[in-house]
Chains A and B, each alone.
Chain A
Amino acid sequence: MVFGALAKREQVRDCGMLATRALSLVGKRAISTSICVRGGHGVAKVDDYALPAYFDRRENPLPDVQFVTELNAVQKSLKEKEKGSWATLSNEEKIALYHISFKQSFAEMNEGTKEWKSVIAGMFFFIGMTGLVVLWQRKFVYGPVPPTFESEWKEKEVQRMLDMRINPVEGFSAKWDYENKEWKK
């Protein structure tokens, strides 16, 4: 298993590394799996990432370790008080006890971030930048449009289309009033 492989590597040098760090961090049950004494060569080194970690997840309400691993004096005395009746604890003490064991409450871990605002802002920013690029292109990159876009040309073009009776039934010429020489209202 993993610890067998680790121990083999350690055989060459007697690291003498006791998993004291592991001992203090890990609960009783996990010690038996994390310490592996191999024939007098010392204890296999346990890396941080291999130890049970604390994490706040909805689906795992009680993580393997407490959030606060080293208790200060106040917290230790609070833990002692916890052994007695809980009704004697004040609200602040209860909250403090909770935060020894857990980092965020469910309400805190479930609240959304404000990331969406950055996302929308970023979108608008890049769309704006693109707009500037397009304007610049129009001015400096593209040549002039063909003469067929000039209004004088267009007027003559429309007149020609009307003379040809383009779409006289329901379309273009149908909308022109030939008697009064204007567009139908």
Chain B
Amino acid sequence: MRNWGGSVVHFNWRHTVYGYVQSCYTPLAQRCYSHGGKLESDEEFDARWVTYFNKADIDAWELRKGMNTLIGYDLVPEPKILEAALRACRRLDDLASAMRILEAVKDKSGPHKKIYPYLIQELRPTLDELGISTPEELGMD
């Protein structure tokens, strides 16, 4: 399956945060360079996105662009990427976007109901530190 950036996106369970599911799909490549370059691994993908959100002077546009692009991929982002995104929201003084990000990843998990609680569990320290409430805590579901 291709997104319009020209990269091939494989649905891949190992990359998602579903802690105890076996990987039943193929290789974890996220981007496939059509001219035959190196395939990117999961760790590289995660690292790239964490670096993107960790930029100290990230601006609102970059946050929005990053988030919208990330949600466009066929995967649920790892907690470390989300943590970086939430901290970026904090730097931008944007609580609403932080909550929206949580809603978006819950929606992204689709029928797999166990992913979101796992994410929240992993993000709990960050949520408490930054004072972000989940939409559930606020009754917004």
Max chain A Cβ within 10 angstroms of own Cβ: one of B60, B96, B100, B103: B96
**Which listed residue (B59, B107, B138) contacts A106, Cβ 8 A?**
B107
CB neighbours (8 Å) of A107 from chain B are 103, 135, 140-141
Given contacts A61-B100, A82-B93, A105-B140, contact A88 B64 (CB under 8 A): no
| Interfacial chain A residues near B96, Cβ < 8 Å | 97-98, 100-102
- Does B133 belong to the interface (CB within 8 Å)? yes
Q: Is B135's CB under 8 angstroms from A62's CB? A: no
Given known contacts A62-B68, A107-B140, A86 and B97 CB-to-CB distance under 8 angstroms: no
Give the residues from 77 to 100 in chain A that come closer than 8 angstroms, CB to CB, to chain B.
79, 82-83, 85-89, 91, 94-95, 97-98, 100
Q: How far is the CB of B55 from chain A (nearest CB, A)?
A: 16
Complex CA gap A30/B81 in Å reads: 27
**Could you say which residues of chain A place their CB within 8 Å of the CB of B71?**
59-61
Which residues of the other chain, A, contact B133 by a CB distance below 8 angstroms? Answer: 91, 94
Nearest CB of chain B from residue A150's CB, rounded to whole Å: 63
Contacts of A86 in B (CB 8 A): 90, 95, 130-132
Inter-chain CA distance A107–B67, complex, in Å, is 19
- Give how many A-B residue pairs fall within 8 Å (CB-CB): 85
CB contact list, B99-141 vs A, under 8 A = 99-101, 103-104, 106-107, 130-133, 135, 137-138, 140-141
Interface check B63, CB cutoff 8 A: yes
Q: Do the beta carbons of A82 and B95 come within 8 Å of each other?
A: yes
Chain B interface, number of residues (Cβ within 8 angstroms): 31
- Size bracket, chain A contacts: 20 to 34
Indicate which residue in A27, A88, A105 contacts B103 across the interface (CB closer than 8 Å): A105
- For the complex, would chain A's binding face be called helix, strand, loop or mixed by DSSP majority? helix
Contact mask for chain A residues 26-61; partner B; CB cutoff 8 A; 1 contact, 0 none: 011100000000000000000000000000001111
Residues of B55-109 contacting chain A, CB below 8 A: 59-61, 63-64, 67-68, 71-72, 90, 93-97, 99-101, 103-104, 106-107
Q: Is residue A64 contacting chain B, with contact meaning CB distance below 8 A? A: yes
Q: How far is the CB of A21 from chain B (nearest CB, A)?
A: 20
- Shortest distance in angstroms between A105's beta carbon and chain B's nearest beta carbon? 5
Q: Given contacts A62-B63, A94-B138, are A106 and B106 in contact (CB under 8 A)?
A: yes
Proximity string of chain A (62-82) to chain B, C-beta cutoff 8 Å, 1 when within and 0 when not? 111000000000000001001
Whether B61 and A105, one on each chain, are in contact in the complex, defined by CB atoms closer than 8 angstroms, is no
- Within 8 Å CB of B130, what residues of A? 86-87
B64: A residues at CB distance < 8 A: 62-64
Task: Tell which of A88, A100, A101 has the most Cβ of chain B within 10 Å.
Answer: A101
B22 to chain A, nearest CB (A): 28
Report Cα–Cα, A64/B101, bound state, in Å.
Answer: 15
A86-B95, A97-B96, A102-B100 provided; 8 other pairs, C-beta below 8 A?
A: A28-B59, A61-B100, A86-B130, A87-B130, A91-B138, A94-B138, A98-B96, A98-B138
